[in-house]
Chains A and B, each alone.
Chain A
Amino acid sequence: MTAALTILRMTIRQVLGLRRFIGLGLLALGPAAIVFLGSARSSSFRATETLAGTTTGVFLNLVIPVITLIMASSVLGSERRDQTLSFIVLRPISRFSIAGAKLAAAFVTAFMLTGLGALALSVVAVIRIEEAGYFAPLLVGTAVATLAYAAIFMPLGYLTERATLIGLAYVFVWENGIVGALEGLAGLSPWRLGLAATVAMAPSDFELAVDEIHSFALGSLQPGAGGSVAKVLVLGAISIAVTGWILRRRDLA
């Protein structure tokens, strides 16, 4: 456990450089800026629509995947490519513990940024809608989506140097193309899991606004935080199992 925590701390330090933090931090704050500027002089209902539209169409389905893709694909991938991975794997630590620590690091580093974006959106909701009830829903939804994307992009980053390209193709082709057209697959879409959690916990106006603007967004998913959290935890466990298996069964250098 101590070794896993050591890997977690070291990976966070490696992945989260100052320039990267500032650049991606600005990206994370972008949706809040859009809502803040876009809902000036709007009614509370219109501001809620702007919040719902931006949260669904920009924050959850674009900003979170991009930030998480960059963070998660580098937690193992960069160590494999600069050949420092041998430093970790040749220690008396289970490969599954290493995978778990790396997934935790991917989640923590990505959520430091995506969570910042969620907090900023919540603050804007207080200012524009005068509603303080968005903090928890947005943070939980963001955490769910971030962990789900981290679970997918961490092994991807290990397996290929083109993780960013493939990850973006996944987001645009799979999530916004195929799953958008086939609503029965919505449960396999990380940002929709996040949205389902957010909608379930947010004030009811938010769900109405989402239905109005992005009626297709949830697809066959029913709003529910518990179900989304459970699904994403299963996804995380699968990711650890797959990555641990790869670390045991493939050449590491």
Chain B
Amino acid sequence: MTDTSTAFNPAIAADATVEATEVSKWFGQKVAVSDVTCSFGPGLTGLLGPNGAGKTTLLRMLCGLMLPSEGTLTIRGRSPRRSVEVYGHLGFVPEEDAVYGALTGREFVEYAAKLTGLGDPAAAAGRAIAIVELQDSADRAIGGYSKGMRQRAKVAAALVHEPDILILDEPLNGTDPIQRAHLIALFRKLAGAGHTVIVSSHVLQEVERMTDRVIAMVDGKLAAAGDIGAIRRAMSDIPYRVLIETDDPRRLGAALVGSDAVFGVAVDAAALRVRTTDLATLGRLISTLAKDLDLRFTRFRPEDESLESVFRYLVRRR
């Protein structure tokens, strides 16, 4: 079971507004989320993990769109399924294109404002559209929008009632670099103003640009949590397998054996595979050996540094 004590668990936020306690979700035989305990407070938290890690399922449960098979989820201490009032504080941007194609962007955001019971929905919609910089296209049907524009329309609809909790599922998908930079700046600004902002992504670099606090998931489990530096450090202990192609793999293999940075070497006809926990030292070593042994290198490539493999390793280590 996950340690839920605040002092030792970086997955627990100090002033939590959104909490998941021992949450699991399964669909028949498939376990989508397994015994996850974490919480989110003011500021921006990245929910990181490869596709299929269970991020979307967790976010949908946090919002009340899905019921957990086990465990409890609360927003401001209340279950969203039982107290719909919490939705007055919550904005949600789903991953899929959940938009009404026949409406214009402005009508779509106004619809959200009306459903939330705002006094002047038109004015609120205008403000939200301006925040995401969608004014020029606001009076066109959403059906004709690009993916990035639809993302921004969804963000505007989520922001229109100025919620203090914002949950965004892969909000940067389909956005161009300028839009991405703008949205990241917006999320950081909201977080800086004391909002609870939860952003899911499968791209580590994307999350790094947004926040220091990360909760990482893989295979439905919590893989790592805390500041991104700690996760980077945890990742530095991971044994990497590196493919090295050279004109004399046997000689290189013999030279590498015994190095502190290397704990395994496999040689075949044209290449060798080296296992290391220190990519940087291995790189320097290879460079030195290239000169000393007069070798030619055609490739130096870590074979398993994908986010998924990194997170899998972290889960196994927990």
User: Which residues does A use to contact B, with CB under 8 Å?
Assistant: 2-3, 6-7, 10, 13-14, 82-84, 86-95, 248-253
* Complex Cα–Cα for A105 and B250 (A): 76
Tell whether, in the assembled complex, residue A251 and residue B67 are in contact, meaning their CB atoms are under 8 Å apart: yes
Residue among A6, A82, A250 making CB contact with B98, cutoff 8 Å = A82
Q: Given A14-B102, A83-B98, A253-B60, are A89 and B65 also a contact pair (CB < 8 Å)? A: yes
Residues of B within 8 A of A83 (CB): 94, 96-98
Within 8 A of A (CB), among B59-108: 60, 63-67, 81, 84-88, 90, 92, 94, 96-100, 102
B313 an interface residue at 8 Å Cβ cutoff? Answer: no
B271 an interface residue at 8 Å Cβ cutoff? Answer: no
Residue of B63, B84, B85, B90 with most partner-chain A CB within 10 A: B84
Tell whether, in the assembled complex, residue A251 and residue B98 are in contact, meaning their CB atoms are under 8 Å apart: no
Chosen A-B contacts, 7 in total, with CB atoms closer than 8 Å, are: A6-B111, A83-B97, A84-B99, A86-B98, A90-B92, A95-B84, A251-B65
Residue among B65, B100, B117 making CB contact with A92, cutoff 8 Å = B117
Cβ distance A74 to chain B, nearest Cβ, rounded Å: 14
Tell whether, in the assembled complex, residue B85 and residue A92 are in contact, meaning their CB atoms are under 8 Å apart: yes
* Complex Cα–Cα for A120 and B67 (A): 48
Residues of B within 8 A of A82 (CB): 98
* Complex Cα–Cα for A87 and B110 (A): 12
* Complex Cα–Cα for A83 and B157 (A): 15
Tell whether, in the assembled complex, residue B65 and residue A252 are in contact, meaning their CB atoms are under 8 Å apart: yes
Cβ distance A31 to chain B, nearest Cβ, rounded Å: 31
Tell whether, in the assembled complex, residue B84 and residue A92 are in contact, meaning their CB atoms are under 8 Å apart: yes
B115 an interface residue at 8 Å Cβ cutoff? Answer: yes
Tell whether, in the assembled complex, residue B90 and residue A90 are in contact, meaning their CB atoms are under 8 Å apart: yes
Tell whether, in the assembled complex, residue A93 and residue B99 are in contact, meaning their CB atoms are under 8 Å apart: no
* Complex Cα–Cα for A247 and B100 (A): 20
Q: Given A2-B114, A3-B117, A252-B66, are A86 and B92 also a contact pair (CB < 8 Å)? A: yes
Cβ distance B115 to chain A, nearest Cβ, rounded Å: 4
Residues of B within 8 A of A86 (CB): 63, 65, 92, 94, 98
* Complex Cα–Cα for A13 and B111 (A): 13
* Complex Cα–Cα for A87 and B98 (A): 7
B155 an interface residue at 8 Å Cβ cutoff? Answer: no
* Complex Cα–Cα for A169 and B88 (A): 42
Cβ distance A111 to chain B, nearest Cβ, rounded Å: 22
Nearest residue, chain B, Cβ from A10: B111
* Complex Cα–Cα for A73 and B85 (A): 28
Tell whether, in the assembled complex, residue B115 and residue A6 are in contact, meaning their CB atoms are under 8 Å apart: yes
7 more A-B contacts (CB under 8 A) besides A83-B98, A92-B88, A251-B60?
A83-B94, A84-B99, A87-B112, A90-B87, A90-B90, A251-B65, A253-B60
For B155-167 the 0/1 string (1 means CB < 8 A from A) is 0010000000000
A-B CB proximity, top 5 nearest: A91-B115, A92-B88, A6-B114, A251-B66, A92-B87
Residue among A91, A93, A248 making CB contact with B81, cutoff 8 Å = A248
Tell whether, in the assembled complex, residue B99 and residue A253 are in contact, meaning their CB atoms are under 8 Å apart: no
Nearest residue, chain B, Cβ from A17: B102
* Complex Cα–Cα for A253 and B64 (A): 10
Residues of A within 8 A of B60 (CB): 251, 253
Nearest residue, chain A, Cβ from B25: A251
Q: Given A2-B114, A92-B85, are A84 and B98 also a contact pair (CB < 8 Å)? A: yes
Residues of A within 8 A of B157 (CB): 87
Q: Given A253-B60, A253-B65, are A3 and B94 also a contact pair (CB < 8 Å)? A: no
Residue of A89, A90, A92, A95 with most partner-chain B CB within 10 A: A90
Residues of A within 8 A of B87 (CB): 90-93
Within 8 A of A (CB), among B110-162: 111-112, 114-117, 157
Nearest residue, chain A, Cβ from B157: A87
* Complex Cα–Cα for A88 and B114 (A): 11
* Complex Cα–Cα for A171 and B67 (A): 34
Cβ distance A251 to chain B, nearest Cβ, rounded Å: 5
Cβ distance A92 to chain B, nearest Cβ, rounded Å: 4
Residues of A within 8 A of B98 (CB): 82-84, 86-87
* Complex Cα–Cα for A82 and B100 (A): 9
Residues of B within 8 A of A88 (CB): 115
* Complex Cα–Cα for A84 and B100 (A): 7
Cβ distance A104 to chain B, nearest Cβ, rounded Å: 16
Residues of B within 8 A of A6 (CB): 111, 114-115
Nearest residue, chain A, Cβ from B81: A248
Residues of A within 8 A of B81 (CB): 248
* Complex Cα–Cα for A252 and B6 (A): 32
Tell whether, in the assembled complex, residue A91 and residue B66 are in contact, meaning their CB atoms are under 8 Å apart: no
Residue among B66, B85, B97, B100 making CB contact with A253, cutoff 8 Å = B66
* Complex Cα–Cα for A222 and B280 (A): 89
* Complex Cα–Cα for A82 and B60 (A): 16
* Complex Cα–Cα for A14 and B107 (A): 13
* Complex Cα–Cα for A86 and B94 (A): 8
* Complex Cα–Cα for A248 and B64 (A): 9
